[in-house]
Amino acid sequence: MSESIEEIQAAYIDEVRAIAPQLEAWLEQRIAEEDEDTVLLRWATGLGGHPRFIEIYRRYYLKIEELNEAARQELHDQADVLISQVEELAPDIAEIVIGLFFNPIGVDANEETV
């Protein structure tokens, strides 16, 4: 039995919450080692640009893509589930997820998600 959209979203929120302290400590350390302006130029998306967060986002995006493929009658917009709705459901991690300015998902020549 596949996961529901709510289960996928809840697992995503839990996983982002689990890494949030590490990401925040990482950014604080960068700022302590360099000046804040330099760090924010390099990491303009803030915590949302951290590779660990992008990996988590991508993994859950692909899970939603699988769910959409299995049930074409009820499609879920991945960005809504993983970014927009999270601001309301989990405001404690909103700063991380809204920092993702681009969608790190590609498509091949056949318009298949890669």
Token reading at 106: 């590609």
Comparing 69 with 46, which gets the higher pLDDT?
Answer: 46
Q: Are 60 and 12 in contact (CB under 8 A)?
A: yes
pLDDT for residue 91 is more than 70: yes
Between residues 8 and 79, which one has the greater pLDDT?
Answer: 8
Structural domain for 54, as ranges: 5-97
Give CA 11 to chain center in angstroms: 12
Domains of the chain: total: 1
Spatial separation of the C-alpha atoms in residues 35 and 88, rounded to whole Å: 32
50 in a structural domain = yes
Instruction: Give 46's contacts (C-beta < 8 A, 6+ positions apart).
Output: 27, 40, 95, 96, 99
Q: Is 103 within the bounds of a domain?
A: no
Give yes or no for residue 60 having a pLDDT over 90: yes
Report yes or no on 113 lying in a domain: no
Judged by DSSP in three states, 29 sits in helix
